[in-house]
Amino acid sequence: MILAIDMGNSNIVIGGIDSERIYFEERVTTDRNKTNLEYAIAMKNILEIHGISPSAIEGSIISSVVPPLNNTLITAIKKITGKAPMLVGSGMKTGLNIIMDNPKTTGSDMIVDSVAALREYPAPLIIIDMGTATTMSVIDPAGNYIGGVILPGLRISLDTLSSKTAQLPQISLDTPGKVIGKNTIDCMRSGIMYGTASMIDGIIDRMEEELGRKTTIIATGGLSRFVMPLCRHEIMIDNALLLKGLFILYQKNQKNG
Residues known to be catalytic: 109
| Pair 127, 111: CB distance under 8 Å | no
Check the CA dihedral 45-48-50-54 and report its sign.
positive
Rounded Cα–Cα distance for residues 202 and 253 (Å): 38
Q: What is the CA radius of gyration of the chain?
A: 19
Burial class (CB in 10 A: 0-12, 13-18, 19+), 248: buried
Would you call the peptide bond into 229 cis, given omega within 30 degrees of 0 as the criterion? no
What are the respective helix, strand and coil percentages of the chain, to the nearest 5?
40, 25, 35
Rounded Cα–Cα distance for residues 217 and 92 (Å): 26
Rounded Cα–Cα distance for residues 128 and 110 (Å): 9
- Tell me the CA distances in angstroms from 143 to 92, 98, 211, one per residue in order: 18, 9, 13
